[in-house]
Amino acid sequence: MKLVIVTSVEEYQKEVLDFFKSANIENLSTSDIDGYKNIAPVLLSSNWFSAEKAGNESRLFFSFTDDEHIDLLFGLIQEFNKNLETSNFVKAIVVPVERYI
């Protein structure tokens, strides 16, 4: 068993949920998150509220599953990312689970 974590901008929520469904991962959880990228200091100093960085509305998806389903999910995400014209790629990682109850 492994933990798969996927992040994306809010606009791709439907697609990512479809990826999980197509990979036969039926149980998953999601959460709203704010995504940030490093902003150059010059840009920050020109902002009225320079102490605040503007975040992108993003989503975090995660599920405990096996390698077979993860391989399918990663293939779908890789294909989706190939066709994007922005730098807001869907990202995914896998974390091994040593113990669980």
Residue 69 lies in a domain: yes
pLDDT at residue 34 in the model: 83
In the structure encoding, which two tokens stand for residue 83, read together? 């066709």
The owner of tokens 């990228």 is 37
Residue 5 has pLDDT above 70, yes or no: yes
- The structure's pTM equals 0.82
pLDDT at residue 40 in the model: 54
Residue 48 lies in a domain: yes
Supply the CATH number for residue 85's domain.
Answer: 3.30.70.120
Residue 28 lies in a domain: yes
pLDDT at residue 52 in the model: 53
Q: Number of structural domains, the chain?
A: 1
- Domain range for residue 47? 2-96
In the structure encoding, which two tokens stand for residue 100, read together? 């669980």
Handedness of CA 18, 23, 26, 30 (dihedral sign): negative
| Per-residue pLDDT tens over the stretch 13-51 | 999 999 999 999 999 999 999 877 665 554 455 554 545
Residue 17 lies in a domain: yes
